[in-house]
Structure 1
Amino acid sequence: MKKDVDDYLQEGIYGAKETKPAERKRFLGSLRERIVFALTKGQVMRAKGLAELEAEIKSHPDAKLLLNGDISYRFLKDYRLLADKYGVHSTSISNREAETEIGAVLTYDHAIDKEQIFLEEKEETNEEDKPEAISVTRFLKKIFTGK
């Protein structure tokens, strides 16, 4: 398809046309089909997924690590060090107009179509949160406090 003058003017005024802009905003400029592994902001700030990310970096040494620039450097430091350790390029992406829950993305410049890209967190349950424990706690509280 040949570009005409109107196409050049539109591109000059509004910038180059971008495929899937909503997906690119969510995944720090990358597309879902290119992603090897992704962590949410909360996971990055709690240092979750470092071991899993390391395993993925070892398996995909040609990928690059995109980090959400809206997260404080102190939370991103370990992820950057991990990328440096294996010679993987890492970049902070800051886009003030786009709001995303994604904190880190290991990605390629081409499609790989990996099905499972997110860290699956195991639910941590406290003994005190179980219904039986709550009723026992209430029972003991009644005995000792009389209430």
Structure 2
Amino acid sequence: MKKDVDDYLQEGIYGARETKPAERKRFLGTLRERIVLALTKGQVMKNKGLEDLEREIKTNPKAKLLLNGNISYRFLKNYKAVADKHGMHHTTISNRETQTDIGAVLTYDHAIEKQQIFLEVAEEESTGETKQEDKGITGFLKEIFIGK
């Protein structure tokens, strides 16, 4: 495919065309097909997945770690320390214009097509949270005054 003058002008004005821009925005600039492990912001802030990340870093030493720069440094420092410990390159991606639920991504610069990239959430953890929400104000007051 040959580029014409309009293509060069468009590229000059708006920048190079990106494949799958929505996917890149969600996964901190990379594509899903390149990801080894993706952690949500909540998991990063609760230090969940740190051990899983370290295990994956050991298994994939040529990957790189992308961290969401919209998360406070105090939550990211342990992840940076693990990457540094294993000599892995890490980059903090700050894009104030984009909202994403992803906090950290271990990725390659080529496709690996891994099926399960998200951390498995323990079943009791998720059911415990919903049970707490389902109680409502009455259940909460009963728990305070009567006990469980």
Normalized against structure 2, the TM-score is what?
0.84
**Counterparts of 1:117 and 1:6, CA distance in 2:** 39
Q: Which runs of 4+ in 1 moved over 4 A?
A: none
Q: Distance in 1 between matches of 2:146 and 2:112?
A: 57
- 1:115 aligned onto 2:115: yes
Distance 2:84 2:3 in 1: 42
Matching of residues 50-129 of structure 1 within 5 Å: 50-122=50-122, 123-124=124-125, 125=128
Q: Hey, what's the Cα distance between the residues in 1 that align with 2:105 and 2:90?
A: 10
Q: Match for residue 145 of structure 1? A: none
Question: For residues 73-132 of structure 1, what are the alpha-carbon distances to aligned partners after superposition, in whole Å with 9 as ceiling and x for unaligned?
Answer: 000000000001111100000111110000000000000000000011213349x96x9x
Larger radius of gyration: 1
Percent of residue pairs bearing the same amino acid type = 72
| Structure 1 residues without counterparts, runs of 5 or longer | 143-147
CA distance in 2, matches of 1:112, 1:39: 18
Could you say which residue in structure 2 is the equivalent of 1:141?
146
TM-score (norm: length of structure 1): 0.85
Q: CA deviation at 1:141?
A: 3.2
